[in-house]
Chain A
Amino acid sequence: MLTPAELDALRLSVVVATWSVLLTLPVAVLLAWLLVRGRFIGRSLVDAAVHLPLVLPPVVVGYLLLLVLGRHGTLGHWLYQVFGIRLAFTTAGAVLATAVMTLPLCIRAVRLALEGLDPGLEDAARSLGAGPLDRFFSVTLPLMMPGIVAGTVTAFAAGLGEFGAVITFASNLPGETRTLPLALYTALQSPNGDGAALRLALLSVALGGTGLLIAEALSRTLRRRVGRA
């Protein structure tokens, strides 16, 4: 079926997508909350900034990451000097590039859920003695769950296939940053890669399709649980 190199690409894709979702999710929830409920100066600027990866060519995002976090980038240099952390051309870098690219998808899903949530419920929780954190975890977060799940699955599925930003920032290193789409691209570049390319393409379709089906089923169940079916 799959060659060891292809299996490696599959494994790497799953690892990168998983880590990037874990990284994205708390940030997405926090940002979505700030963007919906927050009243601060520069809100529209933050809004635009987090959505930028949606409209920019992924290569640009990868390049900007390289400028900032590459070994000679301002932040990247410091990270390397102080902590010995290197992001560019590593799996961690692929995770970061994927996270940045999928963040807007995740935020949009979470935000939609939050906007559909009646702030009156939080007032009710307040009058019943729940402080800010308590309210968030006992009322706001559970009611955002359908959106969070949808955002997670979408981000995961998109993360499996992130190409441009990953190849630019993390390069195409077998076993390190060569995820499914990168392996597919590599196969297309090689003279006898047609079979491998087809296998990898079908695998991608299967993964993405399964992800979407799971997302749909999960969010339907969750919505039914909160009575919004």
Chain B
Amino acid sequence: MLQLALSIVRNRFRMAVNLTLPTPGLTALYGPSGAGKTTLAHAVAGLMPAIGRIELDGDVLLDSTRGVCVPSERRRIGCVFQDARLFPHLDVTQNLLYGYKRHHGDTYAEQDEVVSLLGLTLLLRRRPHELSGGERQRVALGRALLGQPRLLVLDEPMASIDRARRDDVLPYLERLRDRYRIPMLYVSHQYEEVLRLAARVVLIDEGKIIACDTPSALSLSPALRPLVGISGVGAVIESEITSCNRDTGLITVSLGGHPLRLQGVGDAVGTRLRLHIPANEVILATEPPHGLSVRNALPGIIETLDPEQDGFVLTTIAVGHDHLLARITQSAIDDLSLQPGRPVWALVKAASLAQGLYRPTATGS
């Protein structure tokens, strides 16, 4: 468990944080630029002065009232920075072993395994300036991990990598997360990365914690909406594959106990999936649909109606124990006389879900 009760003052920026996070598991610190995500992450790592208390799995790293402040170099918190920060005078192997050599005691991550997990075998003799951005971040990940950290702080590790090249790093990061089960704090302002990686999200804005919850619960929160943009607003569902058809490529997952068919990627029955269903892609009907191409019609009950500024209404629909969000025009609300408590059918196009499929792991749920 990571317990934080911190107050951070930097120039005119003030931050007050009270958080308890489970370990292991990847927690995303998510918020707009300048919200204080990096500041908080660095304070935890001891690279930024802070007042208050930090306790990690029973060890007190900071307790200002008792004058305890474990210096960064003895906190065993690994850091991966936005700009990698590999040592330019050392080659990849020497970079990887920098922290490993300085660690005394038991090790859980060994060089050979980390090198092969991160696909670094062919890069070991290279110097940092001979690496691509993605390769650099992989080396930085390996270097941090070989320092045998108890917590890994990742400060926007994808920010300096082209969107198209992110798969040079993200799959490797997922492998490490699943293999070593170390707790991670992942700073990001990319909702997509958060959905892909995080078991828990801390929403930060203007130095304050707005919310701390699972991606699924947070996806329904109005506080999230201004941050994720129109296409990001939508319910996040944790589910698993109940059947799959190898001929058509369609898989079925369960959503609130009802089947939801979508284009799969050859996953086996029982695989856990996280789905992002954009509110823009959900249609509401007051009776069971006939003669439509839409394959998915889920019966549910309207819970809330949140009018937005642009004439649309964000509607929350309970489907069994899950929820969906739908963006509906105000006139449709009026014509269909939709109101809380009203039973409806939520229609979801299979094709609209192809973009929002994520595969969290056992630790990720």
Contact = CB atoms under 8 A, between A and B. Distances in A.
Contacts of B98: 125, 128, 130, 138
B127 interface: yes
Contacts of A129: 73-74, 76, 99, 102-103, 147
Given A125-B98, A226-B89, A227-B129, A130 B81 contact: no
Nearest to B103: A129
A127 interface: yes
B87 A127 contact: no
Contacts of B147: 127-129
A143 interface: yes
Interface in B94-116: 98-99, 102-103
A127 B127 contact: no
B47 A126 contact: yes
B37 interface: no
A227 B102 contact: no
Given A134-B102, A227-B128, A227-B129, A127 B88 contact: no
Contacts of A118: 85
Given A123-B47, A129-B73, A134-B102, A139 B79 contact: no
Interface string A203-229: 000000000000000000000011110
Interface residues of A, number: 22
* Range, interface on chain B: 20 to 34
Nearest to A229: B129
Interface string A135-159: 0001100110100000000000000
B83 A120 contact: yes
A128 B85 contact: no
A139 B46 CA distance: 19
Contact of A130 (B73, B75, B129, B130): B73
Contacts of B78: 127-128
A127 B89 contact: no
B323 interface: no
Contact of A225 (B47, B77, B89): B89
A85 interface: no
Contacts of B130: 227
B45 A127 contact: yes
A120 B241 CA distance: 45
Nearest to B94: A138
B6 interface: no
A142 to B, nearest CB: 5
Given A143-B88, A226-B88, A226-B89, A124 B73 contact: no
A121 interface: yes
A143 B89 contact: yes
B45 to A, nearest CB: 6
B102 A128 contact: yes
Interface in B122-160: 127-130, 143-144, 147, 153
Interface string A99-126: 0000000000000000000101101111
Contacts of B190: none
Contact of B88 (A126, A138, A227): A227
A123 B87 contact: no
Interface in B24-64: 45-47
A193 interface: no
A145 B87 CA distance: 14
Closest 3 CB pairs of A and B: A227-B129, A128-B99, A129-B102
30 contacts: A120-B85, A121-B85, A121-B87, A123-B72, A123-B79, A124-B87, A126-B72, A127-B72, A127-B77, A127-B79, A127-B144, A127-B153, A128-B73, A128-B78, A128-B102, A128-B143, A128-B147, A129-B73, A129-B102, A129-B103, A130-B98, A138-B98, A142-B89, A143-B87, A143-B88, A143-B89, A225-B89, A226-B89, A227-B88, A227-B129
Interface of B: 45-47, 71-79, 81, 83, 85, 87-89, 98-99, 102-103, 127-130, 143-144, 147, 153
